Amino acid sequence: MNFLKFARRTLLTVASGTAIAALAFGAHAADKKIKIGVIYDYSGPLAGGGSDLQALGAKIMIDHINARGGVEGYMIEPIYADAQSKPEVAINEAVRLIEQEKVDMLLGFFSSAQCVPVAAKVDSLKKFMWITTCISPAVLKDRNLKYVFRPQVHGGMFGELSVEFLNANSQEKLGIAPKDLKVAIIHEDGPYGSGVAAGNEGAAKKAGMKIVLNEGYSATAPDLSSLVTKLKRGRPDVILHTGYNPDITLFLRQAKEQGLRFKALIGHGAGYGVADKLYDALGNDINHVYNVDPVSIWLLDPKSLQAGLPAITDAVGAEYEKAKPGVTVKSAHVGMAASNAHVFLTDVLPRAIKKYGGIDAEALRKASLDTDIPEGGALLGFGVKFPQEGESDMMGQNMRASPVVMQYVDRKIYIAWPKALQTIDPVLPLPKSSPYAK
């Protein structure tokens, strides 16, 4: 055979083989997917209480990561599930996603009443769960779960911070020494409300404040007038309230109707974190109400964040506005889920793949325990670090998470505490324009 012909034929064969191999490799790369089960409440009362906004934040971040090529060559394939505001549905959906949809891990969850049983179930199945919301200490405390992690602030921190804020401002703003301040603690009676209330109670007792009422109620109660009557009898200076959305609206309407008066109202996340819905339901009656939550990512000074993060905050805000045209107050819930999902997708997941060789629960657990994000390293402004084995009675809890106290004024959100982050001199007590002013 002529050598030139042989060489040409050989080269064509090799080239064809290389092309086929390249196509095969490309197809394989395109097929590389990580299936994540994403569970929130898209229906039922919790949806309007903030869960649908948390779900939006998580979706925006997943789409953002996929648009930039995914994670270490893998595209994220989210499988969304509706917990329907019911713990039993949340458990069933988690099991379905794991056993039938064969998801690699679970992300999301809004309600602590769901997280408490779901976390135990998922851990027993040796699957990984990344919680963006559920704040109750009961989700993790004294349970020693191996595969459940929460970058979010926990409810005890919420309850303690609101009392810290009062302790620092009571004398100056109200002319009342903290030991003479009368506080009422009211809360929905699930793990979420109970966890925050326990933080309120412990901190208030430590500060020597007078607790005139500490009472839980069902978030689905059709009437809270008896609770209002008890509050009128106790005559608190400040009400510390933890609830979802329908019950908050019901309480404040009935409080106004029955003439309940107080000097300040401090809410704690969930329903209090959706300012637009509160203003839509109650108008300017919401002015000067406080809310304890992780800070809204849109309120942070961009200079306080690591390079590159402010641009992501802007991108999340742009997608939020596309999804919710005309929104006047960007809910902290959207930014919260976006930030917590971002930590998982850009820090934990890549490390699990690169350092621990996979995306199984054990690799994700080890990668999570290695997380060491300093202050300013997450969209929410705080850092992320989890306790090592034996270091805490709340394994899986971010030790660097911290909330802030915000105040609503004319549909705008301001940071009232801690002092170093203040964007408003806290208005305390309620001005005479408020229907609740004492």
pLDDT computed for residue 2 by the predictor: 42
pLDDT computed for residue 47 by the predictor: 93
Alpha-carbon distance of 328 to 320, in angstroms, equals 11
Alpha-carbon distance values, 304 to 153, 325, 377, 405, 420 (Å): 19, 29, 9, 18, 12
pLDDT computed for residue 421 by the predictor: 85
pLDDT computed for residue 18 by the predictor: 37
The CATH code belonging to domain 156-293+403-421 is 3.40.50.2300
- For the chain, which residues score pLDDT lower than 50? 1-30
Q: Three-state DSSP class for 317?
A: helix
Listed in order, the ranges of the chain carrying CATH 3.40.50.2300 are 33-153+303-385, 156-293+403-421
The CATH code belonging to domain 33-153+303-385 is 3.40.50.2300
Count CA within 13 A, CB hemisphere, residue 334. 22
Note whether 300 and 381 are within 8 A (CB): yes
Q: Three-state DSSP class for 202?
A: helix
pLDDT computed for residue 48 by the predictor: 85
pLDDT computed for residue 155 by the predictor: 87
pLDDT computed for residue 149 by the predictor: 98
How many CB atoms are closer than 10 A to CB 74? 19
